[in-house]
Structure 1
Amino acid sequence: MDQVNRNYNNALMANEIGQAISNKANFKHLEQSIDSESNIDGILKDVIQILQKRLDYDRGFILLATPDRCKLAFRAGYGYSEKHQDLLRGTAFNLDNPQSKGMFVVSFHNQEPFLINDLSELKGSLSPRSLNLAKALGVQSFICCPIICDGEAIGILAVDNIRSKRPLVHSDLTLLMGIAPVIGISIRNADLLNARRKQFHSILQALAKSIDARDPMTAGHSEKVTDYALGICQELEQPKDFCEMIRVASLLHDYGKIAVPDAILKKPGRLSSDEYQIVKTHSQKTREILDQINFEGIYRCVPEVAAAHHEKLNGTGYPNGLKGDQIPLGSKIIAVADFFEAITAKRHYRDPMPLKVAFQVLREESGKHFEEEIIEALIRHFEKNHIQDFKDRWKNLEIPERKSLRVPCKTPVSYIMDGTRVAGTSADISAKGIFVESERNMNEGEKIQLSFTLPNFESEMYETSGRVAWINHKGMPRKRGLPMGFGVEFLDLNKRTFDAVLSYVIANHLPALTNQPC
Structure 2
Amino acid sequence: MVSDADLLDKITDYTRKQGGDTAIERLLANVVSQVREFAEARASEIKRLSDIGIALSAERNLERLLERIVDEARRFTRADAGTLYTVQINPATNLPELKFDIMQNDTMNTRQGGTSGNPITLPPVPLVKDGKPNHNNVSAYVADTGETVNIPDVYIAEGFDFTGPRKFDQITGYRTKSMLVAPMRNHEGEIIGVLQLLNAKVPGGERVIPFSDEYVDLIKSLASQAAVAITTARLIQDLQNLFESVIRLVASAIDEKSAYTGGHITRVAGLSMKIAETINETTEGDFAEVKFTPDELNELRIAAWLHDIGKITTPEYVVDKGTKLETIFDRIELIKTRFEVIRRGMIADAMEYKMRLVANGADSEALKAVDEQLAVRLEEVESDKEFVARCNTPGEFLKDDAIDRLKAIAAKTFLLDGVETPYLTENELKNLSIRKGSLTEEERQIINNHVSVTIKMLSQLPFPKKLSHVVEYAGAHHEKLNGAGYPNGWTAERLAIQSRILCLADICEALTAADRPYKPAMPKERAFQILGFMAKDQEIDERLLKLFMEKEVYDRYMVEYKAQKEAETAAATAK
**TM-score under structure 1 normalisation?**
0.67
Match of 1:14 among 33, 49, 60: 49
Change (3 A) 1:261 1:56: closer
Rounded to whole Å, the distance in 2 between the matches of 1:226 and 1:388 is 13
**Equivalent in the alignment of 1:145:** 182
**1:364 pairs with 2:391:** no
Task: Give 1:122 deviation, angstroms.
Answer: 2.8
Match of 1:93 among 115, 120, 125: 125
Equivalent pair of 1:336/1:370 in contact (CA under 8 Å): yes
Equivalent pair of 2:49/2:218 in contact (CA under 8 Å): no
Please say which of residues 323-332 and 108-117 is displaced more in the overlay.
Answer: 323-332
Matches within 5 A, 1:168-179: 168-179=211-222
**Equivalent in the alignment of 1:42:** 64
**1:384 pairs with 2:556:** yes
Match of 2:161 among 91, 114, 127: 127
Matches within 5 A, 1:408-447: none
Matches within 5 A, 1:198-213: 198-213=241-256
**Equivalent in the alignment of 1:64:** 86
Task: Give 1:128 deviation, angstroms.
Answer: 6.3
Q: Secondary structure at the match of 2:79?
A: coil
**Equivalent in the alignment of 1:354:** 523
Q: Secondary structure at the match of 1:348?
A: coil
Task: Give 1:45 deviation, angstroms.
Answer: 1.7
Equivalent pair of 1:9/1:54 in contact (CA under 8 Å): no
More helix by share: 2
Change (3 A) 1:178 1:392: closer
Matches within 5 A, 1:53-452: 53-68=75-90, 69-82=96-109, 90=122, 92-97=124-129, 98-123=133-158, 125-127=159-161, 129-130=163-164, 132-133=166-167, 136=170, 137-149=174-186, 150-159=188-197, 160-161=199-200, 163-237=206-280, 238-269=292-323, 270-346=438-514, 347-367=516-536, 368-379=538-549, 380=551, 381-386=553-558
Please say which of residues 179-188 and 49-58 is displaced more in the overlay.
Answer: 49-58
Change (3 A) 1:58 1:2: farther
Task: Give 1:47 deviation, angstroms.
Answer: 2.6
Change (3 A) 1:168 1:127: closer
Equivalent pair of 2:53/2:222 in contact (CA under 8 Å): no
**Equivalent in the alignment of 1:416:** none
Task: Give 1:4 deviation, angstroms.
Answer: 2.6
Output one character per residue of 1:367-410: Cα deviation in whole Å (capped at 9) or x when no partner.
421001222333331133326967999xxxxxxxxxxxxxxxxx
Task: Give 1:152 deviation, angstroms.
Answer: 1.8
Change (3 A) 1:59 1:275: closer
Q: Secondary structure at the match of 1:366?
A: helix
- The letter of the residue matching 1:303 is V
Rounded to whole Å, the distance in 1 between the matches of 2:58 and 2:265 is 32
Rounded to whole Å, the distance in 1 between the matches of 2:504 and 2:554 is 12
Q: Secondary structure at the match of 2:128?
A: coil
- The letter of the residue matching 2:182 is C
- The letter of the residue matching 2:459 is D
Change (3 A) 1:131 1:196: closer
Rounded to whole Å, the distance in 1 between the matches of 2:561 and 2:119 is 43
Change (3 A) 1:81 1:337: same
- The letter of the residue matching 1:259 is T
Task: Give 1:91 deviation, angstroms.
Answer: 5.9
**Equivalent in the alignment of 1:23:** 58
Q: Secondary structure at the match of 2:84?
A: strand
Instruction: Report % sequence identity.
Output: 24
Change (3 A) 1:349 1:391: farther
Decide which structure has the larger Cα Rg and report it: 2
Equivalent pair of 1:48/1:78 in contact (CA under 8 Å): no
Change (3 A) 1:304 1:67: same
| Higher RCO (CA < 8 A, seq sep 6+) | 2
Task: Give 1:310 deviation, angstroms.
Answer: 0.8
Q: Secondary structure at the match of 2:535?
A: coil
Equivalent pair of 2:318/2:443 in contact (CA under 8 Å): yes
What is the RMSD of the two structures over their aligned residues, measured on CA atoms?
Answer: 2.8
Output one character per residue of 1:56-79: Cα deviation in whole Å (capped at 9) or x when no partner.
333333222234322342523343
Rounded to whole Å, the distance in 2 between the matches of 1:141 and 1:49 is 18
Q: Secondary structure at the match of 1:313?
A: coil
Task: Give 1:235 deviation, angstroms.
Answer: 1.9
Change (3 A) 1:50 1:16: farther
Rounded to whole Å, the distance in 2 between the matches of 1:311 and 1:272 is 21
**TM-score under structure 2 normalisation?**
0.61
Equivalent pair of 1:52/1:78 in contact (CA under 8 Å): no
Q: Secondary structure at the match of 1:61?
A: strand
Equivalent pair of 2:154/2:162 in contact (CA under 8 Å): no
Rounded to whole Å, the distance in 1 between the matches of 2:461 and 2:55 is 31
More strand by share: 1
Q: Where does structure 1 lack aligned partners over 5 or more consecutive residues?
A: 26-38, 394-518
Equivalent pair of 1:13/1:51 in contact (CA under 8 Å): no
Change (3 A) 1:128 1:192: closer
Please say which of residues 337-346 and 294-303 is displaced more in the overlay.
Answer: 294-303
Rounded to whole Å, the distance in 2 between the matches of 1:244 and 1:256 is 21
Rounded to whole Å, the distance in 2 between the matches of 1:392 and 1:21 is 37
**Equivalent in the alignment of 1:420:** none
Rounded to whole Å, the distance in 2 between the matches of 1:72 and 1:258 is 43
Equivalent pair of 2:264/2:509 in contact (CA under 8 Å): yes
Output one character per residue of 1:262-291: Cα deviation in whole Å (capped at 9) or x when no partner.
222221132112221221111111111111
Q: Where does structure 2 lack aligned partners over 5 or more consecutive residues?
A: 1-35, 91-95, 113-117, 281-291, 324-437, 566-575
Rounded to whole Å, the distance in 2 between the matches of 1:391 and 1:188 is 36
Rounded to whole Å, the distance in 2 between the matches of 1:120 and 1:234 is 53
Equivalent pair of 2:134/2:140 in contact (CA under 8 Å): no
Q: Secondary structure at the match of 1:146?
A: strand
Rounded to whole Å, the distance in 2 between the matches of 1:116 and 1:99 is 18
